[in-house]
Amino acid sequence: MVGQKPVRIWLEETKHLGMALGLANTAKAVEALQLPSSLFTTVHVAGSNGKGTTCAMLCTALTNQGVSNLLFSSPHLVRVEERIRINGVPVHADVMNRALEAVRTATSANSITVTFFEVTFLASLIIAHEAGVEMLILETGLGGRLDATRVSKADVCILTSIALEHTDVLGNERTKIAREKAAIARAFCPLIVRDPGDPEVLETIEDTASNAGMELLGEDIGPADLVVVDIPKGTSYRDEAKLLVDAVWPHLAGVNIQLEPDTSNCIWPARMQFVESQSSVEPHFLLDGAHNPSGLERAVKELHHRPEIQKGDWVLLFGTSPQTDLNEALSHIIQLCTSNPPLSIILSEPQGGRYPAVPVVELTPRFSSLGIQLTVHPVPKDAVEHAQVAYDQSILVVSIGSLYMQGNVLTSLGADTNDDLSFVAKQ
């Protein structure tokens, strides 16, 4: 249409609508898009922590076996195309633009208001149909029962760990959160569940799964086929995700179940991602997007075992988005710094998130009492450049606290091409 604003500006403007839990508008938009009946198998994934890693490893295993796949996930680290990956690689900008234009046309013609998340999800459905993929993997954005992705059909569902998060929306008890997330279960379809390690939470999941499906969406109502996966204590996120992929593998149409899923070459950007220095006079970086108390606690446990941490040859780069309980989130980082003191702490403020970062002036008093050298660089690019000047290849800079921060760091390091952001390591 002549004079119509560029589609990326339109997409950016949808951010002001914020977050909208509910299925009505998304369902109307899917109908308005008039997409043909899908021929792909759909896997729906929910959970508090670990769902992204599970999705990445599942995509890698499928790609390694030659099964074409598309993953919809959020948030993105550097650019919005990361939310839609084909065979682990973010789609190209022109592909995204065409899909966004189709969403805008359909929703505008039918007076349907959609949020940023809903727009990108709808775009993923368009691209999946255009690409003719064999497998579609959908990661929930928030919760499950009322998440936009819930409107899609699903053949298999996965529920990863359950923790207190977004309590203002999902409830302030693990059982309430479990019920919201377990509502992705579809009747008579497999629901692969990480054992929550809490009998009451597991009972809630079992109860929800026993009466799966949504009449609102025209789904069958009945029990899901529950499969509970035991995760040994102390298992890393990566190993935990592999166990869940192993469990879901026999339930996927089109894969060779005689071959074990191969996830060995999976790279999940900003999840315990090692970025090797290209210069002997600059440090290596380790990035992790743990951004809530349970995720930070888990990440800190893994970091404890790295030799650089144990020897003290490391530097902390920390910044965070707003937390429901900032003190609890910081307690895990401070515990790491107390038990394995870094050479220094660099505080910064992640850019590009939904909400403004916690200001460094608020963080500084929490860390200054540790007696560790402290520097403040509100702009992440400045923080990275400071570390590169101050430390050499013998030092590991651990960046943690926010996914958005890790995106900022990757851009500052020049490690943000499509190859850099791909799940599958180059052979």
The pLDDT of residue 96 is: 98
Using the predicted structure, report yes or no on whether residue 352 has a pLDDT greater than 60. yes
3-state secondary structure of 284: strand
Distance CA 66, CA 64 (A): 6
End-to-end CA distance of the chain: 44
Find where tokens 């958005």 sit. 404
Assign 353 a pLDDT band (cuts: 50, 70, 90): confident
Percent of the chain having pLDDT more than 90? 84
Assign 147 a pLDDT band (cuts: 50, 70, 90): very high
Distance CA 185, CA 207 (A): 11
3-state secondary structure of 89: strand
Using the predicted structure, report yes or no on whether residue 169 has a pLDDT greater than 60. no
Polymer length in residues for the chain = 427
Sheet holding 89-90, edge to edge: 89-90, 84-86, 69-72, 135-139, 41-46, 156-159, 190-194, 225-229
Burial of 393 (0-12, 13-18, 19+ CB in 10 A): middle
> Which of 4, 6, 10 is CA-nearest to residue 116?
10
User: What digits encode the pLDDT tens for the residues 181-201?
Assistant: 999 999 999 999 999 999 999
Using the predicted structure, report yes or no on whether residue 165 has a pLDDT greater than 80. no
Q: Which residue has the higher pLDDT, 294 or 249?
A: 249
User: What digits encode the pLDDT tens for the residues 362-408?
Assistant: 999 999 999 999 999 999 999 999 999 999 999 999 999 999 999 99
The pLDDT of residue 368 is: 95
The pLDDT of residue 334 is: 96
Assign 300 a pLDDT band (cuts: 50, 70, 90): very high
Using the predicted structure, report yes or no on whether residue 55 has a pLDDT greater than 80. yes
Distance CA 149, CA 222 (A): 20
Using the predicted structure, report yes or no on whether residue 142 has a pLDDT greater than 90. no
The pLDDT of residue 25 is: 93
Using the predicted structure, report yes or no on whether residue 121 has a pLDDT greater than 90. yes
**Which phi-psi region, left, alpha or beta, contains residue 6 (left: φ > 0; alpha: ψ -120 to 50)?**
beta
As a dihedral over the C-alpha atoms of residue 237, residue 239, residue 241, residue 243, rounded to 10 degrees, the angle is -150
Indicate the pairing of strand 373-376 with strand 344-347: parallel
Using alpha carbons, list the distances in angstroms from residue 204 to 35, 210, 213: 35, 10, 16
**Whether the Cβ atoms of residue 343 and residue 315 lie closer than 8 Å to each other:** yes
Q: Average pLDDT, whole number, for the chain?
A: 93
The pLDDT of residue 22 is: 80
What's the predicted TM-score (pTM) here? 0.90
Using the predicted structure, report yes or no on whether residue 427 has a pLDDT greater than 80. no
Using the predicted structure, report yes or no on whether residue 270 has a pLDDT greater than 70. yes
The pLDDT of residue 239 is: 93
Region 117-123: what's the mean pLDDT?
97
Using alpha carbons, list the distances in angstroms from residue 399 to 119, 278, 347, 406, 412: 30, 18, 10, 7, 13
Domains and CATH numbers, the chain: 7-251 (3.40.1190.10), 273-412 (3.90.190.20)
Region 99-111: what's the mean pLDDT?
97
Using the predicted structure, report yes or no on whether residue 409 has a pLDDT greater than 60. yes
Find where tokens 């450049």 sit. 385
**Which phi-psi region, left, alpha or beta, contains residue 82 (left: φ > 0; alpha: ψ -120 to 50)?**
alpha
Percent of the chain having pLDDT more than 70? 96
Using the predicted structure, report yes or no on whether residue 95 has a pLDDT greater than 70. yes
Radius of gyration of the chain (CA): 21
What is the residue type of 63? T
> Which of 50, 60, 55, 52 is CA-nearest to residue 264?
60
The pLDDT of residue 168 is: 52
The pLDDT of residue 171 is: 54
For residue 75, whether the previous peptide bond is cis, meaning omega lies within 30 degrees of 0, is: yes
Region 77-98: what's the mean pLDDT?
97
Region 17-44: what's the mean pLDDT?
89
The pLDDT of residue 354 is: 77
Using the predicted structure, report yes or no on whether residue 47 has a pLDDT greater than 60. yes
The pLDDT of residue 5 is: 86
**Whether the Cβ atoms of residue 339 and residue 333 lie closer than 8 Å to each other:** no
Region 121-127: what's the mean pLDDT?
98
